[in-house]
Structure 1
Amino acid sequence: MFEPIAIDDPDDPRLAAYRFVRERDLVGRQGRFIVEGEVTLRLLFSFSARFAAESVLLAPERWAGLSDLFAQRAGRPPVYLAGRDVMSAVAGFPIHRGVLAVGLRGAEPAPAALIPPAPAPALVVGLVGLTNHDNVGGLFRNAAAFGADAVWLDAETCDPLYRKAIRVSAGAALTMPFARAASGSALLDLAERHALTPLALTPGGDETLDALEPPSRALLLLGTEGPGLPDAVMARARCLRIAMAVGFDSLNVATAGAIALHHLAGRRLAG
């Protein structure tokens, strides 16, 4: 029978990977990432092809409700039980849910490996220069909700496995296939090679989204709020805007992305 390990010392070296995760998350964790909450922990265990749990840290009262994750499981990670005061001292912020885990990233896939080959339908979200973790998490949630095949990110877009991005994504950052390319231009090169129509969402677009007949294979490009997509990227894409009330021309990028994805995925959702 699998037994968790009780720890009552916040300086216990077995908890080193959890130490001050709020600060360390910002600079990367040597192939590790932090998961918090029961929903995301269960997703981490369910999608083990790319990600794995290195260890789990629980408040003692959470063990009974989560012990099923470790029953009859080969290669089970260690589970540490610590009071919330110990967990909070280790993590560097108050732990309310009583559930943390250290995940391992696994190998980074090639972007092209994540989408069906032409001529099969495909819908990809391309993020260019997005450095806000809330927006990236929200867009991953939208991509999952509307059935996108993958998310491609340029080198400047922040890490979707940042603790807050995972939480805002409702765990979709762990389930939505994603990969990186060097730049927005590299994303467009991928689109060209794999017969994806590049669609750039911008308030200055020549066409309105609602008038677009969704292409069978599309790459929806989204840029950071304020500056938006680079001119060089928009010059190689079909530029679309969302029709709005007179005097207003912008939305939060995650909201705009949700509207665009709903339009582009309409047929596959109806089917």
Structure 2
Amino acid sequence: MILPVDDPDDPRIAEFVSVRERDLVGRRGRYIAEGEVVLRLAASRPDHRLRALLLSERGARGLADLLPGLDAPVYVARQAVMDAIVGFPIHRGMLGLVEPPPAPDPAALLAGLAPEARVVGLLGITNHDNVGGIFRNAAAFGAAAILLDAACCDPLYRKAIRVSVGASLIVPFARVADGADMLRRLDAAGFSVRALSPSGAMRLSDYRPAGRTAVLFGTEGPGLPADLLAATPTLSIPMAPGFDSLNVATTSGIVLHHLAAR
């Protein structure tokens, strides 16, 4: 159902008002999908329920083939009205309010993976660009799942989804309490775990994964906690003299490519 909107204070589109501020305070388990690629992906997934769309007139034309089949209200506004609703110039002109499936139990998620599955573990990563980039790399190189500790930011935050090009809607993920909890769960599920560190004991190029494998990444700067590094075999990516580290999303791409190639 296509519904015109002329007033930024229209109560029907309250969930889209001041998008950035609402992103920060939370959406009661829902998320905002932005742009054509992400919206089409969200609409194609039966486990992600599209609750409403807010489109500019041009955005509605771009999704004209999709709209008739949607079981959700579609609000269409002139570009100036849409900008006033969301609180900034939104050039893509396409937003969707989506309800994702319940988060899976970490043990159940790991238990259901294949014997040769590759899993990514993230600890303390609070930058949405990095989380989105890691999810994109995980999808591109066939990682089966991602575990995040309680300190990591939300992969379903609007910017993380956009940077991931929708991969955070595709790659299964679950939350664990902390690094120790992550290691316990991976060990119980039969995963061989490796931690990435600039001072890692083995070069990544020398590592040959076998069976279920998990690779752990920490936040930029401090990296992974010292106690976790002490308890886990470590890998490094050698670099030119005078330079000791890469962006964590870039690192994940290199590591996951290496695992996929093996």
Q: Which residue of 1 aligns with 2:44?
A: 46
Q: How does 1:1-271 map to 2 (within 5 A)?
A: 3-49=1-47, 51-73=48-70, 76-115=71-110, 117=112, 120-267=115-262
Identity of counterpart residues, as a percentage?
53
* Runs of 4+ displaced beyond 6 Å: none
Contact kept, 8 Å, 2:123 with 2:216, in 1: the verdict is: yes
Contact preservation (8 Å) 1:117, 1:194: no
SS at match of 2:258: helix
How far, CA to CA, are the matches of 1:190 and 1:116 in structure 2? 10
Deviations along 1:27-80, one digit per CA (max 9) or x if unpaired, are 21111111110000001012222x21110011122223313223345xx01100
Matched residue SS, 2:222: coil
Distance verdict in 2 for CA 1:53–1:118, change over 3 Å: closer
Deviation at 1:204, TM superposition (A): 1.0
CA RMSD in angstroms, aligned pairs only: 1.4
SS of the counterpart of 1:205? coil
Q: Unaligned stretches of 5+ in structure 2?
A: none
Q: What SS does the aligned partner of 1:126 have? A: strand
1:66-123, Cα deviation, whole Å (9 max, x unpaired): 13223345xx011000111111111111110110011112211112333465771110
Q: 1:243 to 1:61 in 2, by over 3 A?
A: same
Q: Sort the Cα spacing of 1:119 and 1:55 in 2 relative to 1 into closer, same or farther, 3 A.
A: closer
CA contact (8 A) 2:123 2:152 kept: yes
1: CA distance, partners of 2:95 / 2:19? 11
Matched pairs, number: 262
Against the structure 1 CA distance between its residues 177 and 118, is the aligned structure 2 distance closer, same or farther, given a 3 Å change threshold? closer
1:127-149 Cα distance to aligned partner (Å, 9 max, x none): 00000011000000000000000
Cα deviations by residue, 1:135-184 (Å, 9 ceiling, x for unpaired): 00000000000000011100000001111111111111111111111111
Q: Runs of 5+ in structure 1 lacking a partner? A: none
TM-score (norm 2): 0.96
Contact (CA 8 Å) 1:188, 1:236: kept in 2 or not? no
Give the conservation status (yes or no) of the 8 Å contact 1:146–1:262. yes
